[in-house]
Amino acid sequence: MAKPIVAIVGRPNVGKSTFFNQIGKKRVSIVEDFPGVTRDRIYMDAEWLNHQFTMIDTGGIELENDGEGKILASMRQQARLAIEEADVIVFMVDGRTGLTHDDEEIAHILRNTRKPVIVAVNKIDSPKQHMDVFEFYNLGLGDPIGISAANALNVGDLLDEIVKNFPKDLDDDIEHDEIRIAVIGRPNVGKSSLVNALLGQERVIVSDVAGTTRDAIDTQFEDGDTHFTLIDTAGMRRKAKIDMPVERYSVMRSLRAVDRADVVLMVLSAPEGVTEQDKKIAGYAHESGKGCIIVVNKWDLIKKDDKTSLRYTEDIRDELGFLQYAPVLYASALTKQRVHRVVDLVKYVAEQQAMRVQTSVLNQLVLDAVSINPPPSHKGKQLKIYFMTQADIKPPKFLIFVNDPELMHFSYLRFLENRLRESFGFEGTPLKLIVRGRK
């Protein structure tokens, strides 16, 4: 399901990250927290009144600029990025400082979009200060909402307003008996070459259909009787329309593509390996519960001996620790080496994602697990696992009912997850393990 994207723009120090963190606290669904994934993030999945959305702090994306008028240049880019990619834009200003020239410049850009823009006047810490909000009517962007991100005042009102502005038909045209593939990775790793190599292999290309996002063109093809849709991450075939370093720009494109995909092909370039940007996007795919295959492209450029791929795999497992389950494919879009394996692997991962395990089988697994490795205890109280059941697929989600969730240790959850994988595979898919207490 495609989730709306909300972008926060604004000058430095108006309180964007403070607001971002407040939303984080309001997040309802808590699954496993994987270390290393959640730190330093520029995006966050949030939920408000049953609406799920992805919040992006455009200030956290390091945009390049050329020194002069640094802040303003970077804010202009933030605004353009938001206009291109977000469904709702929150323009945050500082009620204590009052309206500044930079704010007006940004408003000027934002007034030229038809996307909803909500002005949030932050640092309105008490009702006394409410008068400070009015000045921001001058921005010409509608009714400003006064909030205090630090004290969580009116943050709910702002969220209500955000949710009200979500597009209504985001996932109307998504067909469900098909496998949707997003090909993601940094510029120049070979994504378009790989896509062309894939599509060049005597596959029936059904049609180019307009995707859910305004300007994405998806490609459908068939293999046997399986339907596939390759989600366009634009820039793949078109040049980015806005003047912005392609690398930063590609982040939002990729997040959007991941949202719409069943299986993500994370493309790396063999000579370059894994970068920070790769980690962030892979982390997003992981947290979104998508299937994932790591394609190490340009394998033709690597001098190999019999241990090269083994060493490579170890490095990748080190760098992308949370993606232990993702198969790694060494390929070359240029020589077509192993390109023919991609589609079968995608099918396989999609099946793994949709696998259901019967409750009786799961409980045998729990019994075995507990006898090998007794559950942890704390202050004389031991964790008891009553039973486990699979609540969902894509990704497989397991509910574990226990006497006291506080007693469940992260390492024990890991152990259970490993047991599940040893017994059933679940290759290429993250698993959600959710612990529930029972009175």
Residues in contact with ligand GDP by CB under 6 A are 10, 12-18, 59, 122-123, 125, 148-151, 185, 187-193, 236, 297-298, 300-301, 332-334
**Least gap, CB of 217 to ligand GDP (angstroms):** 15
Closest approach, Cβ 93 to ligand GDP, in A, equals 10
215 versus 392: smaller Cβ distance to ligand GDP: 215
Q: Which amino acid is at 14?
A: V
Half-sphere exposure at residue 395, Cβ-oriented, CA atoms within 13 angstroms: 23
153 SS3 class: strand
Which residue, 15 or 144, has its beta carbon nearer to ligand GDP?
15
Q: How far is the CB of 28 from ligand GDP (least distance, A)?
A: 22
For ligand GDP, the closer of residues 232 and 417 by Cβ is 232
- Sorted by sequence, the CB contacts under 8 Å of residue 354 that are 6+ apart come out as 393, 394
- Provide, rounded to whole angstroms, the least separation between the CB of residue 106 and ligand GDP: 13
Cβ neighbourhood burial of 334 (10 Å; 0-12, 13-18, 19+): middle
Smallest gap from Cβ 398 to ligand GDP, in A, equals: 36
In this structure, which long-range contacts are made by residues 234-238, counting pairs with CB atoms below 8 Å and at least 24 apart in sequence?
Answer: 235/187, 236/183, 236/191, 236/192, 236/195, 237/192
Structure tokens at 14: 């108006």
Please, which residue, 32 or 161, has the CB nearer to ligand GDP?
161
Compare residues 16 and 280 and give the one whose CB is closer to ligand GDP: 16
Kindly give the pairing relationship between strand 397-402 and strand 385-392.
antiparallel
Q: Using the minimum distance from each CB to ligand GDP, give the nearer residue, 148 or 288.
A: 148
Q: Is 32 or 300 the residue whose CB approaches ligand GDP more closely?
A: 300
**Minimum distance of ligand GDP from residue 316's CB (angstroms):** 17
Structure tokens given for 180: 């949707």
Task: Report the 3 state secondary structure along 349-412.
Answer: HHHHHCCCCCHHHHHHHHHHHHHHCCCCEECCEECCEEEEEEEECCCCEEEEEECCHHHCCHHH
Both tokens assigned to 64: 């390049």
Q: How far apart are CB 272 and ligand GDP at their closest, in Å?
A: 11
